A and B are shown apart, each in its own frame.
Chain A
Amino acid sequence: DTGVSQDPRHKITKRGQNVTFRCDPISEHNRLYWYRQTLGQGPEFLTYFQNEAQLEKSRLLSDRFSAERPKGSFSTLEIQRTEQGDSAMYLCASSPPPYYNEQFFGPGTRLTVL
């Protein structure tokens, strides 16, 4: 059984560019979460999906951020007009029904905005 995968693992971009990250959850995990982790800090919740429905978004998710999970399987997180403050590790996690009482994390995508 493969774990949660994320692509790319590293992304370096210039300020003002758009970037998109992908997350593939563990199969049959119908909840998928995005978190952001800055250096030396704990992860912070961004948003989560149950199947294709986006059920909660953090206030951290500004209008430059958008997440989708169109078919209830993989998810994408897009950041438009990147800023240096967006530099962080973006973590994806998935969780199985029925209790959703454990989240399995992917390796993360490390974003560096120059």
Chain B
Amino acid sequence: AQTVTQSQPEMSVQEAETVTLSCTYDTSENNYYLFWYKQPPSRQMILVIRQEAYKQQNATENRFSVNFQKAAKSFSLKISDSQLGDTAMYFCAFQGAQKLVFGQGTRLTINP
């Protein structure tokens, strides 16, 4: 069974700083996807970034980028130039063939 671990329950940074959220996972599968989802307070889950395991190049979406280390089963999210609107719960998730397996989440607060 797959597991996803986020070891940072909470993080807090100042606006405009860079922050990195950590995630490790365990699987015996070779083909899979990894995701970071954002869940703002009382709002719905939205996709931040996706990484296909067969791609060596790290995914990037504007201010968001990942550091995907397949051998180490590590998948961290870097947020550059953080903004107040980035305040949310962030979930790392693994998908093999069908369902998503989520980590416990990291509560990120961006302070003005």
Contacts and interface: CB of A to CB of B under 8 A. Distances in A.
Interface string A80-92: 0000000000010
Contacts of B101: 45
Given A41-B104, A42-B91, A42-B104, A108 B44 contact: yes
A41 B105 contact: yes
Given A42-B104, A102-B47, A108-B44, A56 B98 contact: yes
Given A56-B98, A93-B45, 11 more contacts: A40-B105, A42-B4, A42-B105, A43-B91, A45-B99, A48-B99, A93-B100, A101-B50, A102-B50, A105-B37, A105-B44
B44 A100 contact: no
B105 A101 contact: no
Interface residues of B, number: 22
B102 interface: yes
A33 interface: yes
Interface residues of chain B: helix, strand, loop or mixed (majority)? strand
Interface of A: 31, 33, 35, 40-45, 48, 55-56, 91, 93, 100-108
A101 to B, nearest CB: 5
Nearest to A103: B100
A43 B102 CA distance: 6
B46 interface: yes
Contacts of B45: 43, 91, 93, 105
A55 B98 contact: yes
A65 to B, nearest CB: 16
